[in-house]
Amino acid sequence: MPRIILKETVTRKVEIPMETLYEIIDHLSGEERAKLIARAQKKTSKLIPFKRDKIESILGDFEATDLYEDGFLKDLRQGLKKSSLYR
């Protein structure tokens, strides 16, 4: 989901639903739309291959927060093992 960061005394992040973003783009003038398209074409997205972490590493991150109960961590482990990434 696109985000806008407003810098004032406090930095705030605002999430914008894609439909709202489309509406904003639809209301741009032809010149503004051309500038937006040119800018988007200049910035190429660097695609990087997905790196799969070890299940123990993922669980370790969750355990380190001390926010999750053992039952949740057990379910998470089982869910990860069943997921298509770890089969």
The DSSP string of 54-72 is PHHHHHHHHHHTT-S-HHH
What per-residue confidence (pLDDT) applies to 23?
A: 92
Is residue 9 pLDDT above 70, yes or no? no
pLDDT for the residue 50 = 79
Q: Are residues 33 and 56 in the same domain?
A: no
Per-residue pLDDT averaged across 8-15, rounded?
Answer: 72
pTM for the structure as a whole: 0.45
Return the pLDDT at 45.
Answer: 73
Are residues 67 and 34 part of one domain?
no
Rounded Cα–Cα distance for residues 57 and 10 (Å): 34
Question: Which residue type does 47 have?
Answer: L
Reported as type and span, the H/E element at residue 12 is strand 11-15
User: What are 29-86's pLDDT values in tens digits?
Assistant: 999 999 998 988 887 777 788 788 999 999 999 999 999 999 999 999 999 999 988 8
pLDDT tier at 6, thresholds 50, 70, 90: low
The total number of structural domains in the chain stands at 2
| SS3 state of residue 3 | strand
Question: In this structure, are 37 and 55 located in the same domain?
Answer: no
Residues 52 and 81 in one domain: yes
Residues 53 and 70 in one domain: yes
Range of the domain at 85: 48-87
Domain match, 24 and 52 both: no
Residues 67 and 86 in one domain: yes
Same domain flag for 8 and 25: yes
Burial of 62 (0-12, 13-18, 19+ CB in 10 A): middle
